Amino acid sequence: MRGFVNPWVKRTDLKEPPPKAGLKAMPQFFQLENIKTQLDLVLLALEALAELSSEDILQAATKLKLDAVITDRVTLWRLRQSNPLRQSQGGRKKLDVEEARSLVLICCDLAQQHQDRIREAVTLLESLTRMHRPPHEAPLLGDYLDNFCNFYQARMEESAELDAEHLTQLALKLLIDLLFYSAPDGSRYFWLALLERSDTPR
Amino acid sequence: MSLFQSVLKQYTTPTCNLEILSSSSATETSLPGIQKAPESFQLKIHPPLPVQNGKGSDFLQSDTEEPTILTIVVRGTVEQLQSLHAAIQNYLQGFLAKANVPALAATSTPGPIRFPVDPPRRSSPAVADAGIKLQPRGLTQHTLQLGSLVASPSVSAIELASTQLFDLVGTLDRYARDVPTPATEPQRQLIARPSGARKQGLWIAATALAALGLAGLAKVLPSFQGPALQVASQSATDEQRDAPNVNNTFQPGILPGLPTGTPAPNGLASGLPTPTGTPGATPSSAIPTPNPSQTLSVPGIPVPSSTSLPTAIPTAIPAGAESVAPGAKQSSSSFAQSLPKPVSGALKPVPPTFAIASRSPQLDKARGSNSAAKTYPPVSGSAFKPVPPAASRPPQTGIIPQANPAARAQPFEPFSPAAPPVSAARDAAAETAARTTPTETAARDAGGGTVFDITQQVREVRDYFQPRWTPPSGLDQVLEYQLSVNSDGSLWKIAPLGEAAGRYIDRTGMPLLGVPFVSPIPNRQRATVRLVLSPDGKVQTFFEGLSQ
C-alpha cells in the first residue's frame, strides 16, 4: 500500500519551477490536488455554468437527504471555506469525510440536473478546438469562463490567483470533468478522482 | 444448419451503439423466450453530435471544414469488451484525477491556448488485456488504441472526443451492470464479502481521513464498515439492475441519479474501490504513440440513435450451451452426438441427454396430452432412482424411462417442512450408494457434491412459483421450462420446452436472470431443474442434474 503523501509537501518530481512570490503564477499542483480545493472548484464551475445559487445547492442536499450534514447556508459556506485557496479570516474549518462525501453527491446530482447544458458546452468546446478557435467565441463558453474567472478571483486568496490563460485552462478542465460527473456512476468517478489526488505518486 | 448472429441486447447512447451478439441457428432464434449466451459484441462509434441550435451555435456555421461522415464499427468477443471497459475505466480515473491541466489542443495541433502537458501520472493511461490503451490528446480528445479489437474501417486507434468517451463509458457501465465482468468484480466483491468490503472501506477511510486532516475519525469509521456498505451497495445494484430493462436508450438530462432514498454517504461509499489498486496502470510514457496514419478521428455529424432491443442476457456463458440448447428443433439422434457427457454424480436421476430426448415426437405428443408429470420422474426421497450406468441406459430414442407412479403423484412430500428432507434423502442416498459402481462414486466425489445438496433448492423453486402461478384463461396444456440455476441461486438460463411455454413465459412470474431466488447451491455447482406448470394451478419441479 502506498503511503499517504502530504499534499502540502512540495513535490520534487514536477518539471515546472516553483512560483515566485508576488507573481500570479499557478498554485502549486499539490494545492489543486487537495480534496477540499477540488470540491470547492467543482461547485464553483457548476455555479458559473448553470448559474446556481447556494439555495440550489441546499435544495439538492435536501433532495439527497443530506440536510442533516449541510443544514443551512452558513454550514455550506463554512464547508466551502475549508478550501485552503479561499480567502479566509480566522480558523479554517476542517472537512470530515461525511461532509466531503455529501459534497460529492451534491455536485454529481447538480451535474446530472444540468447535464444538457454541460454537454452542450463541451460539444462547443470540442468544435472550437477542432477549428483552432478560442473557446470564448461561443457565448455559452464565454459566459461560463467569465463567470468562473470572476468567482475565482473574488473568492480565492491573492496568492492563489492565476493568470487568465491558466484560469481558462482550469475552468475548461473542470467543465470536462463535470460531464463525466454527470454520468450515473459520476459520484464514484468523482470520489476516486479525489482520492487519487490525495495520494499522488512520489 | 446455418449459423448467424442474433442481437441479445442493445445499448444506445447519442454517439455509441453496443450490440451483444450470440451465434445461433435459424431454428433456435425462431423460438420465443430462449436465452442465449453472449459471445461477441459490435460497437458502433458515431461522430459527435453537432451543437444544437441555441445559444451561441450560429458562429459554428462558419466552419469551413467538411467533416468526413464516418461511423467506426468495432467488433470482438465479450472478453475483449470487458477488457475495453476496464481500460476505459482506468483511463478515466486517471484523467479525472489530473490536477494540472493538459494542453487544450493536442500537442501536434496548434491551438489557441497551449500549456505544457503535465508529467504522466501512474494511473492516467490504462493498459488492459488485449492491448487496449488510451491516452489523452489535448483536453478534449482521447486516443483509444484498439489492440486486438477489430475495427471497420481497419484502424489501430480511434480519436474520441470527450462527449464520445462519455457516451462510451456510459454504455459500457450499463452493460457491466447487466453482466458481471472482471472489471466490475471488485465492486461486486465489496457487496458480497463483508470482510473484503471492510478492508477496502477502511483503506478508503484511512486515505480520505489523512487527506482531510484526520477530522471526524470516530464519526466516519463506522460508516465505512461492512454491513452498511453492503446494504447501500445492494440498494444501488438493485436500482441499476432494473433500470436498463425498462429502457436501454440513453436520455441525457434524465439519467437515473444516485439512490436518493439511500443514505447518501453509504451510497457513495458503496462503489468506491481504492484508486491505488488499479491494475495494469502504467505511465503514459510507456504507451506507444499511435501511428497518425492509422489513427482515425471522428468528425461531427448528426447520427440518429438506434432503437433499443431489450433482451435479457444470461449472466454466464455455459459450457456446452449450444449442445444442450433445449429449444433447438433438432432430432434427438443428431443432438446425441453433440451432447456433453453427463456430469459426474451417479445420483442424477436424469442425465443431460434426457432434456434432449424430450424433444422427440413421442415426448411432444405426451406433453400435448398433458402428461408431462407422468412422463418425468419427480424428485423425491422415496422415488429417487439412481441413473443406470451409461452402458445399461436405453439408447437415445426419446423414450423417457417411467418412474414410480406413486412417487409422481406427490413428488416433494419428503421435502415438506413437516418432514425434514435430509433424512429421507439420506436414506435413499445410502441405498443408492450401495448400488453405485466405484467409478461412479469416484466421479461423484470428484464433482464435490450430490443431488441431495440441492434438494432444498428444488423445493424452493417450486415454492417460488406456487404463489405466482395463475393459469391464464384458455390454457389447456402444461407449460414446461428447463431452468438452469447458478451456484448463487440465480437463474442463468430459461429454456421453454414447447411453443406454448415460450408464448406464456411472461405469465409465469419467472425471476430475472442473475437475481438469486433460491438458496445458494453448495460446491459452486449449477443445477438444472424442470418446472412444470399445470392449467389447474399445480406447480411441480424436477431435478435434472448438476454441473460445475
CB contact under 8 A, A138 and B166: no
CB contact under 8 A, B211 and A13: no
CB contact under 8 A, B63 and A131: yes
Structure ipTM: 0.83
pLDDT exceeds cutoff 90 at B517: no
pLDDT exceeds cutoff 70 at B408: no
Q: Which residues contact B374 (CB under 8 A, 6 or more apart)?
A: B366, B405, B408
A183 vs B496: which has the higher pLDDT? A183
pLDDT of residue B178: 81
Contacts of A13 in chain B (CB under 8 A): 119
pLDDT of residue A89: 62
B418 vs B24: which has the higher pLDDT? B24
Distance from A89 to chain B by nearest Cα, in Å? Answer: 19
Say how many Å lie between the first and final Cα of chain B, rounded: 29
pLDDT exceeds cutoff 70 at B314: no
Q: Does B116 touch chain A (CB under 8 A)?
A: yes
**Gyration radius of chain A's alpha carbons:** 17
Closest alpha carbon within chain B to A119 = B163
Contacts of B63 in chain A (CB under 8 A): 127, 131
Closest Cβ opposite residue B272 in set A96, A127, A191: A191
Q: Does B434 touch chain A (CB under 8 A)?
A: no
- The dihedral built from the CA positions of residue B357, B361, B366 and B367, taken in this order, carries a sign that is positive
In a mutational test of the A interface, the residue from B11, B141, B207, B214 whose CB has the highest number of chain A CBs within 10 Å is B207
In a mutational test of the A interface, the residue from B95, B104, B270 whose CB has the highest number of chain A CBs within 10 Å is B104
CB contact under 8 A, B163 and A135: no
Distance from B257 to chain A by nearest Cα, in Å? Answer: 6
Average pLDDT, chain B: 57
Give me the residues of B, 229-268, that contact A with CB < 8 A: 240, 252-253, 255-258, 260-261, 263-265, 267-268
pLDDT of residue B286: 33
Give me the residues of B, 271-290, that contact A with CB < 8 A: 271-276
CB contact under 8 A, A65 and B263: yes
Closest Cβ opposite residue A187 in set B204, B240, B258: B258
Mean pLDDT along residues B515-536: 85
Q: Does B125 touch chain A (CB under 8 A)?
A: no
pLDDT of residue B142: 93
pLDDT tier at B357, thresholds 50, 70, 90: very low
Mean pLDDT along residues B522-532: 84
CB contact under 8 A, A29 and B115: no
pLDDT exceeds cutoff 70 at B302: no
Q: Does A88 touch chain B (CB under 8 A)?
A: no
Strand partners, B482: B495, B530
Q: Supply the DSSP string of B394-459, one letter for each residue.
A: PPSSSPPPP--HHHHHSTTGGGSTTS-HHHHHHHHHHHHHHT--HHHHHHHHHHT--GGGSHHHHH
CB contact under 8 A, B119 and A126: no
Low-confidence ranges of chain A (pLDDT < 70): 1-33, 89-93, 198-202
pLDDT of residue B199: 40
Give me the residues of A, 94-123, that contact B with CB < 8 A: 94-102, 104-105, 108-109, 112, 115-116, 119-120, 122-123
Number of Cβ pairs < 8 A linking chain A and chain B: 254
Q: Which of A125, A129, A149 has its CA nearest to residue A139?
A: A125
CB contact under 8 A, A187 and B119: no
Closest Cβ opposite residue B268 in set A166, A187, A201: A187
Residue pair A109/A60 in contact by the 8 Å Cβ criterion = yes
Closest alpha carbon within chain A to B113 = A165
pLDDT exceeds cutoff 80 at B44: yes
pLDDT of residue A147: 95
pLDDT tier at B543, thresholds 50, 70, 90: confident
Q: Which of B401, B331, B366, B377 has its CA nearest to residue B477?
A: B366
Distance from B180 to chain A by nearest Cα, in Å? Answer: 16
CB contact under 8 A, B56 and A140: yes
pLDDT tens for each residue of B119-148: 334 443 444 457 889 989 888 999 999 988
pLDDT of residue A186: 93
Closest alpha carbon within chain A to B172 = A185
pLDDT of residue A1: 37
Residue pair B267/B259 in contact by the 8 Å Cβ criterion = yes
pLDDT tens for each residue of B199-235: 444 344 444 444 444 343 333 333 333 333 233 333 3
B302 vs A59: which has the higher pLDDT? A59
Give me the residues of A, 25-84, that contact B with CB < 8 A: 26, 29-30, 32-36, 63-66, 69
pLDDT of residue B439: 39
pLDDT tier at B502, thresholds 50, 70, 90: confident
pLDDT exceeds cutoff 80 at B541: yes
Highest mean pLDDT (candidates A108-112, B34-38, B73-77): A108-112
Helices (H) then strands (E): counts for chain B: 17, 13
pLDDT tens for each residue of B437-468: 443 433 343 333 444 446 788 888 888 888 88
Q: Does B57 touch chain A (CB under 8 A)?
A: yes
B360 vs A95: which has the higher pLDDT? A95
Q: What is the largest CA-CA distance in chain A?
A: 48
- Report which residue type is found at B511: P
pLDDT tier at B193, thresholds 50, 70, 90: very low
Q: Taking CA B26 as the corner, what is the angle to CA B22 and CA B31, rounded to the nearest 5 degrees?
A: 85
pLDDT of residue B473: 81
Closest Cβ opposite residue B264 in set A32, A35, A66: A66
CB contact under 8 A, A132 and B109: yes
A83 vs B163: which has the higher pLDDT? B163
pLDDT exceeds cutoff 50 at B336: no
pLDDT tier at B168, thresholds 50, 70, 90: very high
SS3 of residue B383 by DSSP: coil
Closest alpha carbon within chain B to A94 = B215
pLDDT exceeds cutoff 50 at B240: no
- Report which residue type is found at B192: A
- Kindly list the strands in the beta sheet with B479-485, ordered across the sheet, starting from the edge strand earlier in the chain: B491-497, B479-485, B526-533, B539-547
Contacts of B240 in chain A (CB under 8 A): 184
Q: Which of B312, B388, B381 has its CA nearest to residue B354?
A: B388
Contacts of A128 in chain B (CB under 8 A): 60
pLDDT exceeds cutoff 60 at B31: no
In a mutational test of the B interface, the residue from A29, A185, A187, A194 whose CB has the highest number of chain B CBs within 10 Å is A185
Q: Which of A46, A26, A180, A119 has its CA nearest to residue B93?
A: A180
Cell of B254: 434524465
Closest Cβ opposite residue A95 in set B65, B113, B215: B215
